[in-house]
């Protein structure tokens, strides 16, 4: 006779089988054995091929990025300059004599008005360049996303600045900005307008470097935004148009949400690139006039390779601070995206 606590199930073959025990029936009420994950050795054994493939890459990255980073942090804690580092004169090698000074370099930099002046301009330069580049790139992408005659030609023309080496483009802009023989002042003179000191006036020099960097950055933003726009289903626009939505409403309610994910990524990348955009500043103005266009990275370069004596410890300190600022920005940016529901 079947136990009342275990209902009897009659099988098609005429036999009987008890139903699976309920959780209350399991043992004496004590929790069962805890499942443990596989050990690291088992995981390595299962995925040894994958580990073997990525190990050379990790090793190369460690050598190329890890060693310079650690070396830079170490130098920032010393008083190293060109007079006390290891150097070779003829066949003789002079050993390094610099000393460990702890956080003294960081104290000196953070209490120096030059650092805060460069930081303020770097932030302004970054915000202006990224903001203008994003707006121009999105606007051009929105226009080129439509079907019209000669669209391919326009796309190629707008992407061309990205294909030209940056230093070539910057030298071309230097000729355009030339105060005596430049095309820009030539056009102004022909219109009866006095020429502008594009690169020798502090304010106009800042405008000039921002304009050149925007010109160099728009193609990347254009390509990214165009790809995002083409991923938005056309049916959404058709349905909105049938519902009576005008062009602005379609842009706000369909286009902007559709490119949001890509926008967040390219804005982060553009911010990091622009914050460290050494070539535009150095090749166009060399930080002048009187250091008015120097950003953090060009000031760090100046300390290590231009000033005399060359201050390697000071330059390394600036470099570490730049890295910390960008890491903090990336963390804050990521948290802001997560609060808004973005996965990144």
DSSP code for 245 = -
Answer yes or no: do 133 and 163 share one domain.
yes
Answer yes or no: do 80 and 121 share one domain.
no
Residue 85 lies inside a defined structural domain of this protein: yes
How far apart CA 158 and CA 130 sit, in angstroms, is 18
Q: What's the Cα-to-Cα distance from 14 to each of 8, 9, 11, rounded to whole Å?
A: 12, 10, 5
Answer yes or no: do 56 and 128 share one domain.
no
Answer yes or no: do 62 and 130 share one domain.
no
**What pLDDT was estimated at residue 17?**
45
How far apart CA 189 and CA 280 sit, in angstroms, is 27
Residue 18 lies inside a defined structural domain of this protein: no
Cβ proximity of 289 and 179 under 8 Å: no
Cα 74–chain centre separation: 25
Cβ proximity of 101 and 79 under 8 Å: yes
18 forms bridges with which residues in the sheet? 8
Domain boundary (94, 123, 139) is at 94
Q: What is the pLDDT of residues 283-301, one digit of tens each?
A: 999 998 989 999 999 999 9
Q: Give pLDDT tens digits along the chain (344 positions).
A: 444 444 444 444 444 444 444 444 444 445 444 444 567 777 777 778 888 888 898 889 888 988 899 999 999 999 999 888 888 887 788 888 889 999 999 999 999 999 999 999 999 999 999 999 999 999 999 888 887 787 788 888 888 888 888 889 999 999 999 988 889 999 999 888 888 999 999 999 999 999 999 999 999 999 999 999 999 888 998 898 898 888 889 888 999 888 998 999 999 999 999 999 999 999 999 998 989 999 999 999 999 999 888 999 999 999 999 999 999 999 999 898 888 776 55
Answer yes or no: do 188 and 113 share one domain.
yes
Do the bridges between strand 87-89 and strand 16-18 make them parallel or antiparallel, or are there none, so unpaired? Answer: unpaired
**Structural domains in the chain (count):** 2
Residue 259 token pair: 């490119």
């Amino acid at each position: 006779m079947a136990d009342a606590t275990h209902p009897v199930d009659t099988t098609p073959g005429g036999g009987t089988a008890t139903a699976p025990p309920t959780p209350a029936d399991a043992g004496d009420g004590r929790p069962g054995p805890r499942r443990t994950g596989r050990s690291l050795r088992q995981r390595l054994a299962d995925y040894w091929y994958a580990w073997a493939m990525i190990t050379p890459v990790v090793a190369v990255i460690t050598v190329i990025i890890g060693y310079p980073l650690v070396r830079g942090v170490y130098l920032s804690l010393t008083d190293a300059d060109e007079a006390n580092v290891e150097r070779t004169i003829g066949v003789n090698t002079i050993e390094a004599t610099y000393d460990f000074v702890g956080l003294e370099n960081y104290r000196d930099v953070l209490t120096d008005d030059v650092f805060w002046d460069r930081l303020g301009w770097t932030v302004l330069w970054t915000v202006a360049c990224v903001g203008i580049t994003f707006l121009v790139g999105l606007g051009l992408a929105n226009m080129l996303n439509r079907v019209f005659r000669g669209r391919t030609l326009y796309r190629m023309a707008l992407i061309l600045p990205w294909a030209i080496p940056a230093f070539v483009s910057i030298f071309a802009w230097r000729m355009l900005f030339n105060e005596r023989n430049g095309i820009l002042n030539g056009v102004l003179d022909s219109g009866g307008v006095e020429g502008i000191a594009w690169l020798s006036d502090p304010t106009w020099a800042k405008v000039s470097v921002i304009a050149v960097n925007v010109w160099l950055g728009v193609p990347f933003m254009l390509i990214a935004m165009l790809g995002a726009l083409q991923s938005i289903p056309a049916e959404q626009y058709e349905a909105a148009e049938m519902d009576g939505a005008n062009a602005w409403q379609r842009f706000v309610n369909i286009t902007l949400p559709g490119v949001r994910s890509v926008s967040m990524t390219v804005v982060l990348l553009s911010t990091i690139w622009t914050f460290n955009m050494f070539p535009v500043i150095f090749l166009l103005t060399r930080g002048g006039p009187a250091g008015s266009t120097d950003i953090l990275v060009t000031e760090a370069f100046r300390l290590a390779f231009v000033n005399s004596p060359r201050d390697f410890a000071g330059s390394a300190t600036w470099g570490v601070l730049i890295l910390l600022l960008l890491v903090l920005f990336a963390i804050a940016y990521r948290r802001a995206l997560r609060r808004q529901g973005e996965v990144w």
